[in-house]
Structure 1
Amino acid sequence: MRLLSAASCDEAEHLKEFSSWVASIGDDVLGGSNDGEVTIVLPSNIVLSNSGDPLKTIVSKIYPGYMNHEELSDCLHDRAILAPTLEIVDEVNQFMMSLDQSEGCLYLCSDSIANSDSTSGGLAELHSVEFLNNLKCSSTPNHELLLKVGTPVMLLRNIDRSNGLCNGTRLLITRLGDYVLEAQVLVGHDVGHKVLIHRMSLIPSDPRLPFKFQGRQFPLVVSYAMTINKIQGQSLAHVGLFLRKPVFSYGQLYVAISRVTSRAGLKILVCKHEDDDSRGDSTVNVVYKEVFQNL
Protein backbone atom coordinates (compact mmCIF):
# COMPACT_ATOMS: atom_id res chain seq x y z
CA MET A 1 0.00 0.00 0.00
CA ARG A 2 2.87 2.37 0.73
CA LEU A 3 4.53 1.57 -2.59
CA LEU A 4 1.40 2.66 -4.43
CA SER A 5 1.77 6.17 -2.96
CA ALA A 6 5.38 6.64 -4.04
CA ALA A 7 6.01 9.82 -6.01
CA SER A 8 9.01 8.53 -7.97
CA CYS A 9 10.86 5.35 -8.88
CA ASP A 10 13.67 6.14 -6.41
CA GLU A 11 11.18 6.64 -3.61
CA ALA A 12 9.42 3.40 -4.53
CA GLU A 13 12.75 1.55 -4.38
CA HIS A 14 13.52 2.95 -0.91
CA LEU A 15 10.03 2.03 0.29
CA LYS A 16 10.41 -1.49 -1.11
CA GLU A 17 13.71 -1.93 0.71
CA PHE A 18 12.22 -0.66 3.95
CA SER A 19 9.16 -2.87 3.51
CA SER A 20 11.38 -5.94 3.05
CA TRP A 21 13.26 -5.11 6.25
CA VAL A 22 10.00 -4.72 8.18
CA ALA A 23 8.74 -8.04 6.81
CA SER A 24 11.99 -9.79 7.75
CA ILE A 25 11.42 -8.78 11.37
CA GLY A 26 7.84 -9.99 11.28
CA ASP A 27 8.94 -13.32 9.77
CA ASP A 28 11.91 -13.66 12.18
CA VAL A 29 14.43 -13.81 9.34
CA LEU A 30 16.92 -11.45 11.04
CA GLY A 31 19.14 -12.66 13.87
CA GLY A 32 19.55 -16.24 12.70
CA SER A 33 17.33 -19.23 13.21
CA ASN A 34 15.55 -19.05 16.55
CA ASP A 35 12.02 -19.95 17.56
CA GLY A 36 11.11 -17.43 20.24
CA GLU A 37 13.37 -14.58 21.36
CA VAL A 38 16.31 -13.52 19.23
CA THR A 39 18.63 -10.51 19.34
CA ILE A 40 18.76 -8.43 16.17
CA VAL A 41 21.04 -5.57 15.15
CA LEU A 42 19.21 -2.40 14.12
CA PRO A 43 20.31 -0.17 11.19
CA SER A 44 22.54 2.65 12.42
CA ASN A 45 20.49 5.37 10.71
CA ILE A 46 17.38 4.66 12.80
CA VAL A 47 19.08 4.19 16.19
CA LEU A 48 19.29 7.16 18.56
CA SER A 49 22.36 7.49 20.76
CA ASN A 50 21.58 7.83 24.45
CA SER A 51 23.05 11.15 25.60
CA GLY A 52 22.42 10.47 29.31
CA ASP A 53 18.75 11.46 29.42
CA PRO A 54 16.88 8.97 27.22
CA LEU A 55 13.51 10.61 27.86
CA LYS A 56 14.60 14.00 26.52
CA THR A 57 16.46 12.32 23.66
CA ILE A 58 13.40 10.53 22.28
CA VAL A 59 11.07 13.47 22.91
CA SER A 60 13.30 16.04 21.21
CA LYS A 61 13.64 13.81 18.13
CA ILE A 62 9.95 12.98 17.67
CA TYR A 63 8.58 16.29 18.96
CA PRO A 64 11.24 18.85 17.95
CA GLY A 65 8.94 21.71 18.97
CA TYR A 66 8.14 20.25 22.39
CA MET A 67 9.22 23.42 24.20
CA ASN A 68 6.87 25.55 22.07
CA HIS A 69 3.26 24.61 22.73
CA GLU A 70 1.83 26.24 19.60
CA GLU A 71 4.44 24.66 17.33
CA LEU A 72 3.91 21.28 18.99
CA SER A 73 0.14 21.33 18.37
CA ASP A 74 0.69 21.59 14.60
CA CYS A 75 2.50 18.25 14.33
CA LEU A 76 0.62 16.00 16.75
CA HIS A 77 -1.53 14.33 14.10
CA ASP A 78 1.32 12.38 12.47
CA ARG A 79 3.74 11.76 15.36
CA ALA A 80 3.82 9.45 18.38
CA ILE A 81 6.21 7.77 20.80
CA LEU A 82 5.61 4.04 21.33
CA ALA A 83 6.68 1.87 24.25
CA PRO A 84 6.05 -1.76 25.29
CA THR A 85 4.58 -1.05 28.76
CA LEU A 86 2.11 1.32 30.39
CA GLU A 87 4.69 2.47 32.95
CA ILE A 88 7.00 3.85 30.24
CA VAL A 89 4.07 5.43 28.40
CA ASP A 90 2.90 7.19 31.58
CA GLU A 91 6.45 8.48 32.17
CA VAL A 92 6.61 10.09 28.73
CA ASN A 93 3.11 11.56 28.94
CA GLN A 94 3.74 13.06 32.38
CA PHE A 95 6.97 14.63 31.13
CA MET A 96 5.19 16.20 28.15
CA MET A 97 2.35 17.49 30.33
CA SER A 98 4.83 19.07 32.73
CA LEU A 99 6.26 21.17 29.90
CA ASP A 100 2.90 22.83 29.27
CA GLN A 101 2.56 25.59 31.87
CA SER A 102 -1.03 26.47 30.91
CA GLU A 103 -3.87 25.89 33.34
CA GLY A 104 -5.45 22.46 33.18
CA CYS A 105 -8.23 20.50 34.82
CA LEU A 106 -7.87 17.33 36.89
CA TYR A 107 -10.71 14.84 36.45
CA LEU A 108 -11.10 12.11 39.07
CA CYS A 109 -12.67 8.73 38.36
CA SER A 110 -15.50 7.36 40.52
CA ASP A 111 -14.51 3.71 41.11
CA SER A 112 -16.70 0.97 42.57
CA ILE A 113 -17.04 -2.82 42.51
CA ALA A 114 -19.26 -3.91 39.59
CA ASN A 115 -22.28 -6.07 40.30
CA SER A 116 -21.62 -9.55 38.91
CA ASP A 117 -21.55 -13.19 39.96
CA SER A 118 -17.78 -13.02 40.53
CA THR A 119 -18.11 -10.17 43.03
CA SER A 120 -20.93 -11.61 45.10
CA GLY A 121 -20.57 -12.94 48.61
CA GLY A 122 -19.17 -9.83 50.26
CA LEU A 123 -16.14 -9.44 47.97
CA ALA A 124 -16.96 -5.79 47.40
CA GLU A 125 -16.24 -5.01 51.05
CA LEU A 126 -12.73 -6.46 50.77
CA HIS A 127 -11.50 -3.81 48.31
CA SER A 128 -11.32 -0.21 49.44
CA VAL A 129 -11.94 2.75 47.16
CA GLU A 130 -8.27 3.73 47.55
CA PHE A 131 -7.21 0.28 46.30
CA LEU A 132 -9.44 0.56 43.23
CA ASN A 133 -8.13 4.08 42.53
CA ASN A 134 -4.56 2.76 42.26
CA LEU A 135 -5.36 0.01 39.73
CA LYS A 136 -4.11 0.66 36.20
CA CYS A 137 -5.43 -1.23 33.17
CA SER A 138 -4.73 -0.65 29.49
CA SER A 139 -8.42 -0.51 28.62
CA THR A 140 -9.40 2.18 31.12
CA PRO A 141 -8.13 5.69 31.99
CA ASN A 142 -6.20 6.30 35.18
CA HIS A 143 -8.01 7.47 38.29
CA GLU A 144 -6.52 10.96 37.83
CA LEU A 145 -6.85 12.38 34.32
CA LEU A 146 -5.07 15.72 33.87
CA LEU A 147 -6.08 17.52 30.68
CA LYS A 148 -5.23 20.90 29.16
CA VAL A 149 -6.34 22.69 26.02
CA GLY A 150 -4.06 21.34 23.28
CA THR A 151 -3.49 17.95 24.91
CA PRO A 152 -3.59 14.99 22.47
CA VAL A 153 -5.76 12.14 23.74
CA MET A 154 -6.92 8.74 22.54
CA LEU A 155 -10.40 7.29 22.80
CA LEU A 156 -10.70 4.05 24.77
CA ARG A 157 -14.21 3.10 23.64
CA ASN A 158 -16.35 3.06 20.50
CA ILE A 159 -18.65 6.08 20.83
CA ASP A 160 -19.85 6.90 17.30
CA ARG A 161 -18.40 4.72 14.55
CA SER A 162 -20.26 6.57 11.77
CA ASN A 163 -18.31 9.73 12.68
CA GLY A 164 -15.01 7.93 13.24
CA LEU A 165 -15.14 7.99 17.06
CA CYS A 166 -13.77 4.51 17.70
CA ASN A 167 -11.43 2.87 20.16
CA GLY A 168 -7.97 4.19 19.23
CA THR A 169 -9.08 7.46 17.58
CA ARG A 170 -6.74 10.34 18.45
CA LEU A 171 -8.21 13.71 19.40
CA LEU A 172 -6.95 17.15 20.44
CA ILE A 173 -8.62 18.79 23.45
CA THR A 174 -10.03 22.21 22.47
CA ARG A 175 -12.26 23.05 25.45
CA LEU A 176 -12.59 21.81 29.03
CA GLY A 177 -15.88 21.53 30.89
CA ASP A 178 -17.05 19.98 34.12
CA TYR A 179 -19.23 17.34 32.47
CA VAL A 180 -18.37 17.50 28.75
CA LEU A 181 -15.12 17.94 26.81
CA GLU A 182 -14.76 19.39 23.32
CA ALA A 183 -12.10 17.83 21.11
CA GLN A 184 -10.90 17.92 17.51
CA VAL A 185 -10.32 14.75 15.49
CA LEU A 186 -6.66 14.26 14.53
CA VAL A 187 -6.86 11.20 12.24
CA GLY A 188 -9.06 9.61 9.61
CA HIS A 189 -11.55 11.13 7.19
CA ASP A 190 -12.99 13.48 9.82
CA VAL A 191 -9.76 15.38 10.59
CA GLY A 192 -10.59 18.77 12.08
CA HIS A 193 -14.15 17.81 13.01
CA LYS A 194 -15.08 18.87 16.56
CA VAL A 195 -16.84 16.42 18.84
CA LEU A 196 -18.17 16.32 22.42
CA ILE A 197 -17.02 13.65 24.88
CA HIS A 198 -18.90 12.83 28.07
CA ARG A 199 -18.16 10.59 31.03
CA MET A 200 -18.91 6.87 30.77
CA SER A 201 -19.05 3.89 33.11
CA LEU A 202 -16.05 1.76 32.11
CA ILE A 203 -15.35 -1.83 33.17
CA PRO A 204 -11.78 -3.14 32.59
CA SER A 205 -11.47 -6.30 30.50
CA ASP A 206 -8.16 -7.37 32.06
CA PRO A 207 -8.43 -11.17 32.66
CA ARG A 208 -5.81 -10.99 35.41
CA LEU A 209 -8.25 -9.24 37.76
CA PRO A 210 -10.14 -11.72 39.99
CA PHE A 211 -13.08 -9.33 40.26
CA LYS A 212 -14.95 -6.77 38.19
CA PHE A 213 -14.89 -3.06 39.02
CA GLN A 214 -16.19 -0.04 37.15
CA GLY A 215 -15.18 3.59 37.02
CA ARG A 216 -17.07 6.59 35.73
CA GLN A 217 -14.61 8.73 33.80
CA PHE A 218 -13.99 10.31 30.41
CA PRO A 219 -12.95 7.43 28.07
CA LEU A 220 -9.66 9.14 27.22
CA VAL A 221 -5.96 8.75 27.82
CA VAL A 222 -3.17 11.25 27.05
CA SER A 223 -1.44 10.12 23.84
CA TYR A 224 1.89 11.86 23.38
CA ALA A 225 3.09 8.31 23.94
CA MET A 226 1.13 5.07 23.53
CA THR A 227 1.63 1.37 24.06
CA ILE A 228 2.50 -0.60 20.96
CA ASN A 229 -0.74 -2.56 21.19
CA LYS A 230 -2.89 0.60 21.11
CA ILE A 231 -1.31 1.94 17.90
CA GLN A 232 -2.27 -1.09 15.78
CA GLY A 233 -4.09 -0.15 12.59
CA GLN A 234 -2.68 3.39 12.37
CA SER A 235 0.01 4.88 10.12
CA LEU A 236 2.16 7.84 11.16
CA ALA A 237 4.87 9.89 9.49
CA HIS A 238 7.14 9.92 12.57
CA VAL A 239 7.40 7.15 15.16
CA GLY A 240 9.80 6.94 18.08
CA LEU A 241 10.18 3.51 19.68
CA PHE A 242 11.29 3.95 23.29
CA LEU A 243 12.78 0.65 24.47
CA ARG A 244 13.62 1.36 28.09
CA LYS A 245 12.60 -2.29 28.40
CA PRO A 246 12.67 -4.74 25.46
CA VAL A 247 9.49 -6.01 23.82
CA PHE A 248 8.02 -9.04 25.58
CA SER A 249 5.23 -10.49 23.43
CA TYR A 250 4.86 -11.98 19.97
CA GLY A 251 5.06 -9.49 17.10
CA GLN A 252 5.38 -6.34 19.24
CA LEU A 253 8.52 -5.09 17.49
CA TYR A 254 7.01 -5.72 14.05
CA VAL A 255 3.82 -3.82 14.93
CA ALA A 256 5.81 -0.84 16.22
CA ILE A 257 8.11 -0.40 13.24
CA SER A 258 5.34 -1.05 10.69
CA ARG A 259 3.33 1.96 11.91
CA VAL A 260 5.65 4.43 10.18
CA THR A 261 5.34 5.26 6.49
CA SER A 262 9.08 5.56 5.71
CA ARG A 263 12.46 4.62 7.12
CA ALA A 264 13.32 8.30 7.62
CA GLY A 265 10.41 8.68 10.04
CA LEU A 266 11.45 5.81 12.32
CA LYS A 267 13.75 6.32 15.32
CA ILE A 268 14.52 3.72 17.99
CA LEU A 269 16.13 4.36 21.36
CA VAL A 270 17.43 1.27 23.17
CA CYS A 271 18.31 1.79 26.84
CA LYS A 272 21.07 -0.38 28.23
CA HIS A 273 21.25 -1.33 31.90
CA GLU A 274 24.44 -1.50 33.92
CA ASP A 275 24.33 -5.31 34.08
CA ASP A 276 23.42 -5.60 30.38
CA ASP A 277 26.21 -6.62 28.00
CA SER A 278 24.13 -6.09 24.85
CA ARG A 279 24.94 -3.43 22.27
CA GLY A 280 23.12 -0.13 22.11
CA ASP A 281 22.07 -0.83 18.53
CA SER A 282 20.54 -4.25 19.19
CA THR A 283 17.29 -5.37 20.73
CA VAL A 284 15.09 -8.42 21.25
CA ASN A 285 12.55 -9.63 18.71
CA VAL A 286 9.88 -12.12 19.77
CA VAL A 287 8.47 -14.38 17.06
CA TYR A 288 7.24 -17.97 17.41
CA LYS A 289 7.62 -19.89 14.17
CA GLU A 290 4.80 -22.30 15.01
CA VAL A 291 2.36 -19.46 14.27
CA PHE A 292 3.31 -19.72 10.56
CA GLN A 293 2.71 -23.47 10.33
CA ASN A 294 -0.10 -24.65 8.03
CA LEU A 295 -0.70 -21.13 6.68
Structure 2
Amino acid sequence: MTYNSADEVCKGSTDILEQQHLYPTEFLNTLNFLGMPPHALKLKKELPIMLLRNVNPSQGLCNGTRLIITDLGQFVIRAQILTGSNVGQTVLIPRITLTSTQTQWPFVMKRRQFPVKPCYAMTINKSQGQSLNHVGIYLPNPVFSHDQLYVAISQVTSPDGLKILMKEDGSPELKRRTRNIVFKETFDNLT
Protein backbone atom coordinates (compact mmCIF):
# COMPACT_ATOMS: atom_id res chain seq x y z
CA MET A 1 0.00 0.00 0.00
CA THR A 2 1.29 3.47 -0.84
CA TYR A 3 0.51 6.33 1.54
CA ASN A 4 0.95 9.84 0.13
CA SER A 5 1.70 12.71 2.46
CA ALA A 6 0.05 16.12 2.68
CA ASP A 7 2.82 18.72 2.29
CA GLU A 8 2.72 22.47 2.77
CA VAL A 9 4.98 25.38 3.62
CA CYS A 10 4.64 26.55 7.21
CA LYS A 11 2.95 29.95 6.89
CA GLY A 12 5.07 31.59 9.61
CA SER A 13 8.37 30.61 7.99
CA THR A 14 8.25 33.00 5.02
CA ASP A 15 7.11 36.57 4.35
CA ILE A 16 5.74 35.77 0.90
CA LEU A 17 1.94 35.89 0.75
CA GLU A 18 1.56 33.81 -2.41
CA GLN A 19 3.87 31.00 -1.28
CA GLN A 20 1.66 28.25 -2.76
CA HIS A 21 2.53 29.66 -6.23
CA LEU A 22 6.23 29.87 -5.39
CA TYR A 23 6.38 26.38 -3.80
CA PRO A 24 3.62 24.24 -5.32
CA THR A 25 2.58 20.98 -3.65
CA GLU A 26 4.08 18.94 -6.49
CA PHE A 27 7.50 20.49 -5.75
CA LEU A 28 7.18 19.94 -2.00
CA ASN A 29 6.33 16.27 -2.63
CA THR A 30 9.73 15.76 -4.29
CA LEU A 31 11.68 17.00 -1.26
CA ASN A 32 13.24 14.59 1.24
CA PHE A 33 14.48 15.71 4.63
CA LEU A 34 16.58 13.86 7.18
CA GLY A 35 14.37 12.22 9.81
CA MET A 36 11.19 12.57 7.75
CA PRO A 37 9.30 9.87 5.90
CA PRO A 38 9.09 10.18 2.12
CA HIS A 39 6.06 11.66 0.36
CA ALA A 40 5.09 8.26 -1.09
CA LEU A 41 5.54 5.79 1.77
CA LYS A 42 5.29 2.20 0.48
CA LEU A 43 4.38 -0.32 3.18
CA LYS A 44 3.10 -3.90 3.36
CA LYS A 45 2.16 -6.45 6.00
CA GLU A 46 5.08 -8.02 7.89
CA LEU A 47 7.45 -5.24 6.81
CA PRO A 48 9.92 -4.21 9.54
CA ILE A 49 9.71 -0.45 10.18
CA MET A 50 11.44 2.09 12.41
CA LEU A 51 9.77 5.02 14.16
CA LEU A 52 11.23 8.41 13.24
CA ARG A 53 9.70 10.39 16.14
CA ASN A 54 8.62 9.92 19.75
CA VAL A 55 4.92 9.08 19.41
CA ASN A 56 4.07 7.70 22.88
CA PRO A 57 7.13 6.98 25.07
CA SER A 58 5.02 5.39 27.84
CA GLN A 59 3.92 2.70 25.34
CA GLY A 60 7.49 2.26 24.05
CA LEU A 61 6.88 4.24 20.85
CA CYS A 62 10.11 6.25 20.76
CA ASN A 63 12.44 7.42 18.01
CA GLY A 64 14.35 4.37 16.78
CA THR A 65 11.85 1.74 17.99
CA ARG A 66 11.57 -1.11 15.53
CA LEU A 67 8.20 -2.70 14.77
CA ILE A 68 6.67 -5.15 12.34
CA ILE A 69 3.46 -4.23 10.49
CA THR A 70 0.49 -6.51 11.23
CA ASP A 71 -2.25 -4.51 9.50
CA LEU A 72 -2.55 -1.45 7.26
CA GLY A 73 -5.53 0.85 7.66
CA GLN A 74 -6.50 4.09 6.00
CA PHE A 75 -5.80 6.24 9.08
CA VAL A 76 -3.58 4.04 11.31
CA ILE A 77 -0.97 1.30 11.05
CA ARG A 78 -1.23 -1.65 13.44
CA ALA A 79 2.19 -3.00 14.37
CA GLN A 80 3.93 -5.18 16.92
CA ILE A 81 6.90 -3.81 18.86
CA LEU A 82 10.14 -5.75 18.25
CA THR A 83 12.50 -3.93 20.63
CA GLY A 84 12.67 -2.43 24.10
CA SER A 85 10.70 -3.28 27.22
CA ASN A 86 7.34 -3.52 25.38
CA VAL A 87 8.33 -6.36 23.01
CA GLY A 88 5.31 -8.13 21.54
CA GLN A 89 2.83 -5.37 22.35
CA THR A 90 0.45 -4.40 19.52
CA VAL A 91 0.17 -0.65 18.93
CA LEU A 92 -1.56 1.76 16.54
CA ILE A 93 0.51 4.40 14.76
CA PRO A 94 -1.39 7.44 13.43
CA ARG A 95 -0.36 9.98 10.84
CA ILE A 96 1.20 13.03 12.45
CA THR A 97 2.41 16.40 11.20
CA LEU A 98 6.19 16.56 11.02
CA THR A 99 8.18 19.72 10.37
CA SER A 100 11.59 19.99 8.75
CA THR A 101 14.16 21.24 11.25
CA GLN A 102 17.37 21.47 9.23
CA THR A 103 16.93 22.52 5.65
CA GLN A 104 18.67 24.29 2.81
CA TRP A 105 15.37 25.84 1.72
CA PRO A 106 14.21 29.31 2.84
CA PHE A 107 11.07 27.87 4.47
CA VAL A 108 9.95 25.28 6.98
CA MET A 109 7.94 22.44 5.46
CA LYS A 110 5.09 20.58 7.17
CA ARG A 111 4.45 16.98 6.13
CA ARG A 112 1.49 14.94 7.41
CA GLN A 113 2.52 11.30 7.16
CA PHE A 114 3.09 8.15 9.23
CA PRO A 115 6.33 8.72 11.19
CA VAL A 116 7.98 5.50 9.99
CA LYS A 117 10.48 4.21 7.44
CA PRO A 118 11.13 0.66 6.27
CA CYS A 119 13.95 -0.83 8.35
CA TYR A 120 15.75 -3.55 6.44
CA ALA A 121 19.13 -2.77 7.98
CA MET A 122 20.60 -0.75 10.82
CA THR A 123 23.93 0.66 11.84
CA ILE A 124 26.04 -1.01 14.50
CA ASN A 125 25.24 1.83 16.92
CA LYS A 126 21.47 1.50 16.37
CA SER A 127 21.68 -2.27 16.94
CA GLN A 128 23.18 -1.90 20.41
CA GLY A 129 20.99 -3.56 23.03
CA GLN A 130 19.09 -5.69 20.49
CA SER A 131 18.83 -9.48 20.43
CA LEU A 132 18.35 -10.80 16.91
CA ASN A 133 18.05 -14.33 15.49
CA HIS A 134 19.86 -13.46 12.26
CA VAL A 135 22.62 -10.87 11.88
CA GLY A 136 24.45 -10.07 8.67
CA ILE A 137 27.49 -7.81 9.00
CA TYR A 138 28.84 -6.07 5.92
CA LEU A 139 32.51 -5.10 6.35
CA PRO A 140 33.90 -3.54 3.18
CA ASN A 141 36.70 -2.15 5.42
CA PRO A 142 37.87 -3.11 8.91
CA VAL A 143 35.75 -1.66 11.71
CA PHE A 144 37.30 1.66 12.69
CA SER A 145 36.02 2.32 16.20
CA HIS A 146 36.78 0.92 19.66
CA ASP A 147 34.92 -2.37 20.25
CA GLN A 148 32.43 -1.76 17.44
CA LEU A 149 32.93 -5.23 15.93
CA TYR A 150 32.20 -6.86 19.29
CA VAL A 151 28.93 -4.86 19.56
CA ALA A 152 27.87 -5.98 16.07
CA ILE A 153 28.64 -9.67 16.65
CA SER A 154 27.15 -9.81 20.14
CA GLN A 155 23.64 -8.92 18.90
CA VAL A 156 23.00 -12.42 17.48
CA THR A 157 21.41 -15.06 19.74
CA SER A 158 23.20 -18.03 18.11
CA PRO A 159 26.44 -18.43 16.10
CA ASP A 160 24.39 -20.15 13.37
CA GLY A 161 22.53 -16.88 12.78
CA LEU A 162 25.72 -14.85 12.11
CA LYS A 163 26.99 -14.06 8.61
CA ILE A 164 29.85 -11.67 7.86
CA LEU A 165 30.68 -10.36 4.39
CA MET A 166 34.19 -8.95 4.03
CA LYS A 167 35.87 -7.46 1.01
CA GLU A 168 38.85 -9.47 -0.15
CA ASP A 169 41.89 -7.29 -0.76
CA GLY A 170 44.08 -9.92 -2.40
CA SER A 171 46.13 -10.90 0.66
CA PRO A 172 45.33 -14.52 1.66
CA GLU A 173 45.83 -13.94 5.41
CA LEU A 174 43.05 -11.34 5.58
CA LYS A 175 40.38 -13.28 3.65
CA ARG A 176 38.81 -14.67 6.83
CA ARG A 177 40.00 -12.09 9.34
CA THR A 178 39.41 -8.50 10.31
CA ARG A 179 40.63 -6.36 13.18
CA ASN A 180 38.64 -5.49 16.28
CA ILE A 181 40.18 -2.21 17.39
CA VAL A 182 40.60 -1.96 21.15
CA PHE A 183 42.53 0.92 22.68
CA LYS A 184 44.57 -0.74 25.42
CA GLU A 185 45.46 2.72 26.76
CA THR A 186 41.96 2.85 28.24
CA PHE A 187 42.97 0.23 30.78
CA ASP A 188 46.33 1.83 31.76
CA ASN A 189 45.21 3.94 34.72
CA LEU A 190 42.65 1.57 36.26
CA THR A 191 43.22 0.78 39.94
Where 1:225 maps in the other structure, the secondary structure is coil
5+ unaligned residues in a row in structure 1: which ranges?
1-104, 289-295
Asked whether 1:176 is paired with 2:69, we answer no
Asked whether 1:199 is paired with 2:73, we answer no
Map 1:130-149 to 2 at 5 A.
Answer: 130-149=26-45
Separation in 2, partners of 1:141, 1:232? 23
Separation in 1, partners of 2:29, 2:179? 34
Instruction: Provide the residue aligned with 1:120 in structure 2.
Output: 14
Instruction: Provide the residue aligned with 1:257 in structure 2.
Output: 152
Map 1:48-87 to 2 at 5 A.
Answer: none
Separation in 2, partners of 1:135, 1:283? 39
CA contact (8 A) 2:129 2:155 kept: no
Q: How far does the alpha carbon of each residue in 1:81-113 deviate from its partner, in whole angstroms, 9 at most, with x for none? A: xxxxxxxxxxxxxxxxxxxxxxxx111122223
Instruction: Provide the residue aligned with 1:270 in structure 2.
Output: 166
CA-CA distance at 1:139 after TM superposition = 1.3
Instruction: Provide the residue aligned with 1:231 in structure 2.
Output: 127
Asked whether 1:241 is paired with 2:140, we answer no
Separation in 2, partners of 1:280, 1:241? 15
5+ unaligned residues in a row in structure 2: which ranges?
184-191
Asked whether 1:162 is paired with 2:21, we answer no
CA-CA distance at 1:140 after TM superposition = 1.5
CA-CA distance at 1:200 after TM superposition = 0.7
TM (normalized to structure 1)? 0.48
Asked whether 1:186 is paired with 2:78, we answer no
CA-CA distance at 1:202 after TM superposition = 1.3
Where 1:141 maps in the other structure, the secondary structure is coil
**Residues 255 and 121 of structure 1: is their aligned pair in 2 closer, same or farther, counting only changes over 3 Å?**
farther
Asked whether 1:152 is paired with 2:48, we answer yes
**What is the aligned-residue RMSD (CA, Å)?**
4.0
Which has a greater percent of helix? Answer: 1
**Residues 134 and 250 of structure 1: is their aligned pair in 2 closer, same or farther, counting only changes over 3 Å?**
farther
Separation in 2, partners of 1:185, 1:270? 31
Separation in 2, partners of 1:170, 1:216? 21
Identical positions, percent: 42
Asked whether 1:109 is paired with 2:2, we answer no
Where 1:154 maps in the other structure, the secondary structure is strand
Higher RCO, 1 or 2 (CA under 8 Å, sep at least 6)? 1
Separation in 1, partners of 2:181, 2:11? 39
Q: How far does the alpha carbon of each residue in 1:62-82 deviate from its partner, in whole angstroms, 9 at most, with x for none? A: xxxxxxxxxxxxxxxxxxxxx
Separation in 2, partners of 1:203, 1:106? 21
Where 1:133 maps in the other structure, the secondary structure is helix
Aligned pairs, number? 180
